[in-house]
Structure 1
Amino acid sequence: MAVEYAFGIDIGGTTVKIGIFTDDGKLEDKWEIPTRTENNGEMILDDIAASIREYLEKKEITSDKVLGIGIDVPGPVLGASVVNKCVNLGWGVTDVASKMRMLTDVENVQVANDANAAALGEMWQGGGQGHDNVVMITLGTGVGGGIILNGQIVEGNFGAGGEIGHMIMNPHEKQACGCGKKGHLEQYASATGIVRKANEVLSADQRESALRRHKKLTAKDVYDAAKAGDPLALEIADFVGRMLGLACARISCVIDPEIYVIGGGVSKAGDILLESIKKHFVEEAFHASEEARFALATLGNDAGMYGAVKMVL
Structure 2
Amino acid sequence: GSSEYSRAARTCRACSNVNPQLPPVFQEFTIRAVLGLGFLNASLQKQGWSSVAFSLFMLVLAVQWAILTDSFTEWLLSGKVPNKLTSMYPASMSAVTVLISAGMVLGKANLVQLTVMTLLEVTAIGIMRTVGSTFFQLDHHMDTMFFPIFAAYFGVIVARCLAKPLPKGAEKKTQMATRPSLFGMLGTLFLWIFWPSFNSAPLNLLDNKRTALLNTYFALAVSAVTATSVSALAHPHGKINLVHVHNAVLAGGVASSAPAYLISSPWIAMVLGLLAGLISIGGANVPFPHILANTYCCLYS
TM-score, scaled to structure 2: 0.24
Higher normalized helix content (fraction of residues):
2
Higher normalized strand content (fraction of residues):
1
The higher radius of gyration belongs to 2
TM-score, scaled to structure 1: 0.23
